[in-house]
Structure 1
Amino acid sequence: MFKSLRLTNFKAWKDTGKIDLAPVTMLLGTNSSGKSSLLQSLLLLKQTVRSPDRTIHLNLGGDEVNDLFSFGDFDSVLKHGADSPRQFSIGFDFNRFDDSRVKAGSLETFYGKTSSGSVAVQQMKLNTDAREFRAVRRDRGAFSIFVDDEVQPRFKGRNYAPERSISFSADAIAELDQDGALVEDLSLSIRRELEGISYLGPLRRKPERDYAWNKSKPGDVGSDGSNAIGALLASALLRSEEQNYIVEGVSKWLKRMKVAEQLEVRQQGRSNRYELIIHRDGVACNLRDVGIGVSQVLPVLVVAYFAPVGSTVILEEPEIHLHPLAQSILAELFVSVSKERNVQFIVETHSEHLFRRMQTLIAKGTAKQRDVSMYFVKRRGAQALLQTLEVDEFGVVGNWPEHFFGDSVGEARQQAMARAKRMQGRANG
């Protein structure tokens, strides 16, 4: 689980400061304010650690099949007008809940631009249990390796360049002797944390009328939810202790949202093709024939149950095409599944209904204050600013940005005044 995040000179962010991340973290704010950039920083590191080239410092993307985003070049990521030195950084703290040898630690990496125009690590810091290991770039691509608060480097050379932004080279690990095993385990924990991210973007694929199944399950749901149906088919058709676990979980929340009573996987004859059937009000319909909201929320529900236990799910606008009640139920989904499966949710949303239900869950004690973090992002000129929303134990926000969700009281007042004025006009007429 990611415990905190900090960015400097990253896109619209000069310095986010330390952003505390909870089991459920919600990002709200105006359009193009910088919310997505916060999410993209973690996704940038994820696609870097997935790169087949272990010597790469940062994978800015470009491979449409394998990469989550194409970030362009160094200057596209660096905040406009960044002071010298022209560097940006990404850092985070984490806790692991699996069998990793290193259970907690942090990574902070600073990036600069080389004379050839590529992105290169300028400094990488790895921390755990009051130990710190640093790789600092020198001239001509050489790196010096420092341990703890030592002033002089242990060693330096071009063969000590960091790999994939998160780990020391094999030569550096060997030179560190006993500390080398700790650095290797720490890097492995960081890699697992990043690889465990499941990302679902705001644009989800429309459903097909039927699907072929190759008797396997996908690695993830895909950033557009394209593999969500494959995950459902595998859940329904592969025999295991968790058979139908995802299907039943999805059906439960569709019912809570009052958009369906049950989800069914139905085989077409004896072929390898299957259709998804939505049951509602005694009628069974193909997924293709029901409202777009069902198909758009389906990947959100699937990823909540398909993501590995202990992993992080990043969602952009999960509420798209849902009616108000269904949007509000998403808050209950995040809180419930986070507790049930130890899955972290980082959610970027514009939904007032989702936010208001989260306030209600805190007021009822269903969600604890420590389990939910909420932030408001806004722009001041070219700079993004982050405001922590102060939510008390009764779900009341003490510093809510004015008019973000509109002025419901003001609207009601204007309606009453307009109604009174028109009625008076009719009486006088």
Structure 2
Amino acid sequence: MFSRLRLENFKAWLDPEDITLRPLTMLLGTNSSGKSSLIQSLLLLKQTARSPDRTVHLNLGGDELNDLFNFGSFEDVLNHSAESPRLFSIEFDFDNRGASRIHKGSFGCSYGQTSSGSVAVQALTLKAEGRQFKAIRREKGAFSILVDDEQLPRAKGRNYAPERSIAFSADAIAVLDKEGQLLEDLSLAIRQELDRTIYLGPLRRKPERDYPWNKSKPGDVGSDGRGAVDALLASTLLRGDEQNYVVDGVSRWLRHMGVADKLEVRQQGRSNRYELIVHREGVACNLRDVGIGVSQVLPVLVVSYFAPKGSTILLEEPEIHLHPLAQSVLAELFVDVSMERGVQFIVETHSEHLFRRMQTLIAKENTSATDVAMYFVKRNGRSAKLCTLEIDDFGRVKNWPDGFFGDALGETREQARLMFERQKTLQQ
């Protein structure tokens, strides 16, 4: 999982600030405050790391079929208040038990614009096991390779340019000899961490009346949830130890939310088309014929069980179109799945109900303040600012920001004032 994130001059984030990430991290705040930029920084690295062109320095997107997000140009990513040097940077720490030999490490990279207008790495720093490796851009696209605190580079040249932001070139690994193996393992671990990152955005596809199935398991659910139904079909129709695992998990949480009793995959006659049937109070309906909230939360529930163990799931507005009780149950979903499957959730939300239930879960000791991080993001001029919510063991917030969830107490006072004034008028 990711344990730290740091952005500088990246979109809304002007000043560098370390953000601690926990198994469950919640980002709250006003619209256009910078919450989504935190998530987008990881998406930018993910789509760069999986780019088919290994020489690319940063993939800003534009391919609607293969990219997660279209960032536009360098100027669109660089904070408008950034001064010289005109660079933006992304850093993160990770701590995970994956297939790679490296379990903990750090990534840091700064980016600038070349004379031709393309984005180029200015400095790449990778750290693990007490060692540090740097690739620093020099003149005419040449890079210097430095190790630890050494002042003199091990090598210099254009053939030492980093690949896909996260990896040193084959020539750089070769020139480092035995240390090159550690560096190669570290790049692999970073790639795996990004590969395990799954994103589900706030705009999800509307349900169809029926679906074809190609008799295979999808790679992921997609940023708009387009693969969620394929994952449900595969869970039901493919035989194996995990048959019905995803469907059963989804049904359980739909029931807990009070929006359905069960979800069923039903074949249409002898065709290769299937429909999703929602059961509630003895009535069975096609997914298309029930409230939009069910179809919109479905990808959230599916990805929670379909994502491989140890994944990081990035969610934007998982509560969309859900009634208050169902929104609050999402907090229980995140806590239970995170503990059961070792999944990290980074959630951008506007839901007070979700937040309040998380407070209650901390108070009930279903989770702890050390496993949950909550942040309020606000704008200060052209820069985003982060307020770390200090939560005690009883779920109480010690430092409520102004305008956190509106002014509920003020609304109550105003209602009481108007009631007394009206009663006084009636008595006259």
Question: TM class by shorter-chain length?
Answer: over 0.9
Question: What residue in structure 1 maps to residue 155 of structure 2?
Answer: 155
Question: What residue in structure 2 maps to residue 188 of structure 1?
Answer: 188
CA contact (8 A) 1:136 1:143 kept: yes
C-alpha deviation, 1:419, in angstroms: 1.9
CA contact (8 A) 2:81 2:382 kept: no
C-alpha deviation, 1:426, in angstroms: 2.2
C-alpha deviation, 1:400, in angstroms: 1.0
Question: Counterparts of 1:18 and 1:417 in 2: how far apart (Å)?
Answer: 44
Matched, 1:117 2:117: yes
C-alpha deviation, 1:35, in angstroms: 0.6
Question: Counterparts of 1:124 and 1:15 in 2: how far apart (Å)?
Answer: 19
Question: Counterparts of 2:413 and 2:86 in 1: how far apart (Å)?
Answer: 52
When the two structures are superposed, what TM-score results if normalisation uses the length of structure 1? 0.99
Give SS of 1:370's match. Answer: coil
Question: What residue in structure 1 maps to residue 356 of structure 2?
Answer: 356
1:306-321 → structure 2 map (5 Å cutoff): 306-321=306-321
Question: Counterparts of 2:333 and 2:118 in 1: how far apart (Å)?
Answer: 42
C-alpha deviation, 1:383, in angstroms: 1.1
Question: Counterparts of 2:414 and 2:184 in 1: how far apart (Å)?
Answer: 64
User: Number of residue pairs matched?
Assistant: 428
Question: What residue in structure 1 maps to residue 49 of structure 2?
Answer: 49
Question: What residue in structure 2 maps to residue 390 of structure 1?
Answer: 390
Give SS of 1:401's match. Answer: coil
Matched, 1:271 2:271: yes
1:339-354 → structure 2 map (5 Å cutoff): 339-354=339-354
Gaps of 5+ in 2: none
C-alpha deviation, 1:163, in angstroms: 0.2
Question: Counterparts of 1:232 and 1:16 in 2: how far apart (Å)?
Answer: 41
Give SS of 2:278's match. Answer: strand
C-alpha deviation, 1:402, in angstroms: 2.0
C-alpha deviation, 1:405, in angstroms: 1.1
C-alpha deviation, 1:417, in angstroms: 2.2
CA contact (8 A) 1:6 1:15 kept: no
1:358-377 → structure 2 map (5 Å cutoff): 358-377=358-377
C-alpha deviation, 1:398, in angstroms: 0.8
Question: Counterparts of 1:187 and 1:87 in 2: how far apart (Å)?
Answer: 23
C-alpha deviation, 1:199, in angstroms: 0.3
Question: Counterparts of 1:243 and 1:161 in 2: how far apart (Å)?
Answer: 46
Question: Counterparts of 2:227 and 2:346 in 1: how far apart (Å)?
Answer: 20
Question: Counterparts of 1:35 and 1:157 in 2: how far apart (Å)?
Answer: 39
CA contact (8 A) 2:48 2:58 kept: yes
Question: Counterparts of 1:16 and 1:220 in 2: how far apart (Å)?
Answer: 32
CA RMSD of aligned residues (A): 0.8
Give the letter aligned to residue 205 of structure 1: R
Question: What residue in structure 2 maps to residue 25 of structure 1?
Answer: 25
Give SS of 2:17's match. Answer: coil
Question: Counterparts of 2:347 and 2:45 in 1: how far apart (Å)?
Answer: 18
1:10-409 → structure 2 map (5 Å cutoff): 10-409=10-409
CA contact (8 A) 1:250 1:263 kept: yes
Question: Counterparts of 1:50 and 1:100 in 2: how far apart (Å)?
Answer: 17
1:86-139 alpha-carbon deviations (Å, 9 max, x no partner): 110001000121231001000000101111110000000000011000000111
Question: What residue in structure 2 maps to residue 419 of structure 1?
Answer: 419
Question: Counterparts of 1:81 and 1:2 in 2: how far apart (Å)?
Answer: 28
When the two structures are superposed, what TM-score results if normalisation uses the length of structure 2? 0.99
1:329-362 alpha-carbon deviations (Å, 9 max, x no partner): 0000001100000000000000000000001111
1:260-301 alpha-carbon deviations (Å, 9 max, x no partner): 000000000111100000000110000000000000000000
